[in-house]
Amino acid sequence: MDQSRTPYFDVLRDYVEAGVVPFHTPGHKQGIGCDPVFREFVGERVLGIDLTQIRGLDDLLQPSEAIVEAQNLAAEAYGADQSFFLINGSTSGNQIMMMTAVNPGQSIAIPRNAHKSALGGLIMSGAYPVYMAPEVDETLHMDLTVTPETVAATIAAHPEVRAIYVVSPTYYGVCADLPAIAEIAHAHGLPLLVDEAWGPHFKFHPKLPPSAIEAGADLCINSTHKMLSSLSQTALLHRRGDRIPLDRLSAVHKLFLSTSPNLILVASLDVARRQMATEGERLLGETIAIADSVRQRLNAIPGLSCFGEESCGRPGFAAFDPTRITLTVKALGYTGYEAEEILRRRYNVQVELADLFNCVALITIGTTPAAADVLVEAAAELAREDRPLDIFAPSGILERRLMSGTYTLPKIPPVRMLPRDAFLASTESVPFKSSAGRICAEVITPYPPGIPVLAPGEEITPEVVAYLDLELRAGGRMQGPYDSSLRTIRVVRE
Ligand SMILES: Cc1ncc(COP(=O)(O)O)c(C=O)c1O
């Protein structure tokens, strides 16, 4: 196929150039009806291609023209048999993968540190989770990936699982041994689903880890908006082989689409694919060089460290995405949150993510050498600063958490109900401290480390209550519960 083509972007441009008089949605009619301040700020051209699926612009729900060609080009570029455009992120990709691969009541093996959208997928699919523990880096208190051994042991202990789901890479660019995991899954006749939201660039440079599809995944998702140049909310879902029925996948994909998709997003996927297919190796080569130089310079600053390729080979750390910069500030005595705030307030630098000990910076094809220098200079200043007690009063979280040892996650509680049944059940709020023994109806994820401690359908154990209580007293924040102070918790009504 001709990867220099952008069939979908072209039909939008053609429509604008033809000067069609629009009596269709959207109501702003190519910007004319927009608030003028907004129109001027975003630009008429953007609004001009904010069109709907009328004649000639194909239909994402039932593609037959330009979208077919655009999706086929994406499949070819990624080495997949089929690719589907997603316009609700990898979030919808996770939900689609789960709803396609498992039926209500069937079991799926899933790492405990899966993104919350995977838990949403469990709720929607009605599947039963068999959780796998990821490896953990005790020094950085950072979760890694699940090992092939863990996958094999899970299948041996739970022969009822119908699919294997893994996350690779993690937020920190740490990759699983996907070829080995695929071999194990396939030897048992199971499909492998990979949340590769953070790895849409892997296919396009030999220095990057093997992509999930190359490694043998049957389905995988890529958040092209995260690491490539397509617009926010866009992502790709790829299928390879025939372990996952295409008709089912395609039907489920449609369930997750609006009948009025944003066509600018669709066109941005088309163009981002062309960019990678035709120029990816060069662009990513430059990106990797920038990231390597940033890592090297950060590692030379006393008090800062930034892991890289040398960490590969440990269990759960099979490969590494060199474009990811995890800046460890532990030795400076800052939490990652404090460092994030200082970098932003004092140096106008915003990182992607902070956790207890680290800040994560993304180097992508949009990062210029000058921007990279700003990051390094700001980090050097940060390392030189006296700890600014006046502005950033020490939270004490770090010390207290380390003293209380709250980083040891409690055992995964017994699953008493399907996540879907618990989530949709009649529920009630009870005082959290006396909730042991009840069945949780919500997801409770302390930040950090961001791994759910309770999911819908799980029994609240005394150990979990004690752990979450310590987290709260140490200043931890809870994501997920209706009552974020966790004074109360929603449980299934008895
Ligand atoms: C591992 C992982 N999977 C899925 C998602 C959801 O992706 P999106 O934001 O594209 O919906 C995220 C988002 O951060 C993620 O980190």
Ligand 1 atom with the smallest distance to the CA of 86 is: 10
Tokens of 134: 């990821």
Q: What pLDDT sits at residue 248?
A: 98
Model pLDDT, residue 477 = 80
CB 490 within 8 A of CB 481: yes
Cα of 33 from ligand 1 centre, angstroms: 34
Round to whole Å and give the CA distance between 435 and 430.
Answer: 7
The confidence score (pLDDT) of residue 12 equals 97
Probe target for ligand 1 pocket from 84, 90, 122, with the most ligand atoms within 8 Å of CB: 90
* Cα separation, 256 vs 60, whole angstroms: 11
Tell me if 96 sits within 8 A of 252, measured CB to CB: yes
pLDDT one-digit tens code per residue, 223-263: 999 999 999 999 999 999 999 999 999 999 999 999 999 99
Counting residues of the chain whose pLDDT is more than 70, the rounded percentage is: 94
Ligand 1 atom closest to residue 88's alpha carbon, by position in its atom list:
11
Average pLDDT over residues 185-206: 98
Residue 409 has pLDDT above 80, yes or no: no
Residue 151 has pLDDT above 60, yes or no: yes
Q: Residue type at 337?
A: Y
Pick 411 or 161 by higher pLDDT: 161
Q: Return left, alpha or beta for 216; rule: phi > 0 is left, psi -120 to 50 is alpha, else beta.
A: left
Q: Which residue's C-alpha comes closest to atom 9 of ligand 1? A: 89
Q: What is the predicted pLDDT for the residue at 472? A: 80
> So what's the pLDDT on residue 482?
92
How high is the pLDDT of residue 413?
A: 93
- Would you say the CB of residue 171 lies under 6 angstroms from ligand 1? yes
Atom of ligand 1 nearest to the CA of 94: 4
pLDDT tens for residues 259-318? 999 999 999 999 999 999 999 999 999 999 999 999 999 999 999 999 999 999 999 999
Burial class (CB in 10 A: 0-12, 13-18, 19+), 17: exposed
* CB of 89 closer than 6 angstroms to any ligand 1 atom: yes
Strand order of the sheet with strand 82-86?
82-86, 235-239, 219-222, 192-195, 161-167, 107-111, 128-132
pLDDT one-digit tens code per residue, 80-112: 999 999 999 999 999 999 999 999 999 999 999
Token pair, residue 344, equals 């932003």
pLDDT at 433: 95
Work out the average pLDDT over 114-133. Answer: 93
Residue 422 CA to ligand 1 center (angstroms) comes to 24
* Residue 232 buriedness (CB in 10 A; 0-12 / 13-18 / 19+): exposed
User: Quick one: average pLDDT of 372-387?
Assistant: 91
Nearest-atom index, ligand 1, CA of 235: 10
Residue 27 structure tokens: 């109501």
Q: Is the pLDDT of residue 40 over 70?
A: yes
Q: What mean pLDDT is predicted for residues 432-445?
A: 95
CA distance 194 to 192: 6
Distance 110 CA to ligand 1 centre (A): 15
pLDDT at residue 403 tops 50: no
pLDDT above 60 (res 402): no
Indicate if ligand 1 lies below 6 Å from the C-beta of 235.
yes
> How much of the chain, in percent, has pLDDT values that exceed 90?
83
pTM of the model: 0.94
Mean pLDDT computed over 405-413: 71
Give residue 223 CA to ligand 1 midpoint distance, Å: 7
Number of other residues whose CB lies within 10 A of the CB of residue 371: 13
pLDDT band at 405 (very low <50, low <70, confident <90, very high): very low
User: How many whole angstroms separate alpha carbon 487 and alpha carbon 489?
Assistant: 7
* Nearest protein CA to atom 7 of ligand 1, as residue: 90
Ligand 1 pocket check for 91: Cβ under 6 Å:
yes
Cα 197 to averaged position of ligand 1 atoms, centre (Å): 6
Closest atom of ligand 1 to CA, residue 233:
10
Residue 143, ligand 1, Cβ within 6 A? no
Q: How confident is the model at residue 389 (pLDDT cuts 50, 70, 90)?
A: very low
Distance 310 CA to ligand 1 centre (A): 26
Select from 119, 165, 174, 223 the residue to mutate for testing ligand 1; criterion: most ligand atoms less than 8 Å from CB: 223
447-480 pLDDT, tens digit per residue, is 766 678 999 999 999 999 988 887 787 667 888 8
197 Cβ below 6 A of ligand 1: yes
Mean pLDDT of 338-358: 91
**Is the distance from CB of 96 to CB of 74 less than 8 angstroms?**
no
Ligand 1 neighbourhood includes 58 CB (under 6 angstroms): no
Kindly give the distance from the C-alpha atom of residue 488 to the centroid of ligand 1, in angstroms, as a whole number. Answer: 28
Ligand 1 centre distance from Cα of residue 387 (Å):
34
Q: Is the pLDDT of residue 341 over 80?
A: yes
Residue range 136-157: mean pLDDT, rounded = 91
pLDDT at 407 exceeding the cut of 60 = no
Per-residue confidence (pLDDT) for residue 404, from 0 to 100: 45
User: In which band, very low, low, confident or very high, does the pLDDT at 396 lie, cut at 50, 70 and 90?
Assistant: low
Among protein residues, the one whose CA lies closest to atom 1 of ligand 1: 115
